[in-house]
A and B are shown apart, each in its own frame.
Chain A
Amino acid sequence: MKNSGYYSQFGGAYIPEILVPTFDELESAYLVAREDESFWQEYIDLMSTYSCRATPITRLDNLTEQLGGANVYVKREDLNHTGAHKANNVMGQGLLTRRMGKTRVIAETGAGQHGVATATMAAKFGFDCTIYMGAHDVARQRPNVFWMEQMGATVVAVTEGSQTLKDAINEAFRDWVSNMDDTHYVLGTACGPHPFPEMVSWFQSIIGIESREQMLERTGKLPERVYACVGGGSNAMGIFGGFLEDKGVELVGVEAGGRGRGQGQHAARLAYDDATIGVAQGYKTYFLQDNDGQMQDTHSVSAGLDYVGVSPILSHMHETKEVRFEAASDTEVVEAMQRTVRNEGLIPALESSHAFAQAYKEAPDMSSNEDILINMSGRADKDIFTVADAVHDPKWQQFIIDKAEAYRAEMQNG
């Protein structure tokens, strides 16, 4: 094994000995694919025929006028098949899994988007599929669990620890150390041991590559700022990836501010100062942990951002100041989402709505000659229960009550 995969002091591969040959195999397969232009072409072809690439860019005409500052553009990752950017990474890793001759895939999922994307890929490629999901997330994201199971995946509710994303990752690793011979672990974000952060960022860079071309074509210049929400960091790495060489483009990562500063209240590793550097889940980065290095509970209205760690590449870019990190609170996020739905008819996921919230805060202070680009990493269909609760919609509540009563009657009548 090579001591590679560092971004200044962050990253690495802190893996159990049993997985060393598996990681060597994965890294080789990845490096071969990366050198092989036909692989990327195969990937583009797949994404443009099975999913909806290139995804368009939409100008928010009404909100641009209301905000009275910068022109607001949105990269529409919600139009990917399965409704989020997760499909990019998953389809790429699916092609790689096939190349490695493996027949089973496993994945962790937080919000369930990555789980649905992986189950979809497994159905298409004919792989067996097991998805690990924190029991807490299973409870708040039932619609995604439903679809994973419909697609033939086994969904395992993880009852260890905080029952969220990090616990699902631990369980996926526990599966992998038993089943590495036929199984590939489709890690869903730009975290984990090398080569995952780099490989996932590579697949997601399709977002940034398209965005740069589209903005140039559309406005004749590059945007002044690019916003992306940051959980593990894969959609952010994806869109930022198109603008890394462009000094005039400010990159803004928006984390889950939850209920505000203070450990346990949020999942902001970089924007707030509650996180410290540590090593867990196979890599070194900023973690929300105590002085002993025990991981702490996190909170966010969005399951997909509710995570203790963050991409080591983003920790590096935080220190070099290549990316500015901000946090948006639960309340701001729900408001930003409702505002987008009402004024533009777009339905950003709660995760993506973090990026919208920060962009809406900053756009009024910019000039009408300036453009901003928001990565709409996913759509909110999956969030319908959470959002309905947040907006206290009485008609929705009545609908659920009626539905429950109908089910109960059906069960009683056998």
Chain B
Amino acid sequence: MAKSPTTLELAIRKAREKKDILLMTHIVLGYPNFDDSLRVVEDMVKAGVDLMELQIPFSEPMADGPVILKANSEALKAGATVEKSFAAAERITREFDIPFLFMTYYNILFCYGVDEFVSRCKSAGITGCIVPDLPPAEGQQYLDAMHAAGISPVHIFTPKTPETRMRHLSDNSSGMIYCVARKGVTGKDTAFSDDLSEYLELCRSSTDLPLGVGFGVKSREDIDFLRGKVDIAVVGSETIRVMEQDGVGAVKGFIETLVA
């Protein structure tokens, strides 16, 4: 367990010295196009987002709900590729001084070549990856490459995950743990209840890594609920929904309501 903290973990701990909860957001690269992706990142960083997940689009995003699913397929239709996603990430990490993680599905890494993918992440300034369809048992090559490169493989805790499995996932992770607040896919409502608190206590006691909570987190009230329980609130689908309803320009205002 006594791993030395990664770049991602150090950045999270440093940011936590100033704030009692951090905000992480999620965008799909190339949706609706790469120019808008860059603009949304800029607006989010200016509005006070502490870290961001950049999703490389995939044609079969099994764990995503309707909002992110649509963003994936629209991005691909508009010509997004893995190479363009790396180029965008490179530019983003150069311009903005917060940690950026990639989120994508395993086939993207597998077809690119796992070692090549990880070394591209390194040169693009990415600090962590979330690959929701790659359990540690299937991902030894990925884990070895990530640990060697000092990039954090972030695994997922769920309300169905037993404590022993949480410890196993934690042993194979660095940087942070992503706790999904409920069953189901991204972008549906979550009940912020005593059950959730109990589950988050179990998460807290099963790992020494910083905890982020996502799935259904979409308002100031939700974030207040999480304050003191975890380190990071993750707002994913809701920002994309805001962008769809009110345009790219509305994202900044929405983020400001969350961090005010």
Contacts and interface: CB of A to CB of B under 8 A. Distances in A.
Contacts of A284: 110
A411 interface: no
Given A1-B137, A280-B60, A17 B158 contact: yes
A2 B137 contact: yes
A281 B106 contact: no
Interface stretch (A44-52, A287-295, A394-402): A287-295
B135 A17 contact: yes
Interface in B104-160: 105-108, 110-112, 132-135, 137-138, 155-158, 160
Interface residues of A, number: 38
Nearest to B215: A18
Given A17-B156, A160-B73, A281-B62, A177 B184 contact: yes
A174 B138 contact: no
B180 interface: yes
Interface stretch (B15-23, B95-103, B161-169): B161-169
Interface residues of B, number: 40
B88 interface: no
A20 B161 contact: yes
A170 interface: yes
B103 to A, nearest CB: 13
Interface string A209-240: 00000000000000000000000000000000
Given A17-B157, A17-B161, A20-B165, A278 B137 contact: no
Interface in A134-178: 160-161, 166, 170, 173-174, 177-178
A178 B183 contact: yes
A14 B104 CA distance: 13
Given A17-B156, A18-B180, A293-B108, 17 more contacts: A1-B137, A14-B133, A16-B62, A17-B157, A160-B70, A180-B160, A278-B111, A282-B133, A287-B107, A292-B81, A292-B82, A292-B111, A292-B112, A293-B107, A294-B76, A295-B59, A295-B60
Interface of B: 58-63, 65, 69-70, 73, 76, 81-82, 105-108, 110-112, 132-135, 137-138, 155-158, 160-162, 165, 169, 180, 183-185, 188
24 contacts: A1-B137, A15-B135, A16-B132, A17-B135, A17-B180, A18-B160, A20-B160, A20-B165, A173-B62, A174-B62, A174-B185, A277-B110, A278-B110, A279-B110, A279-B133, A281-B60, A281-B62, A282-B62, A291-B111, A293-B110, A293-B111, A294-B58, A295-B59, A295-B60
| Nearest 7 interchain pairs by C-beta | A293-B111, A178-B184, A293-B107, A3-B137, A18-B158, A294-B59, A17-B156
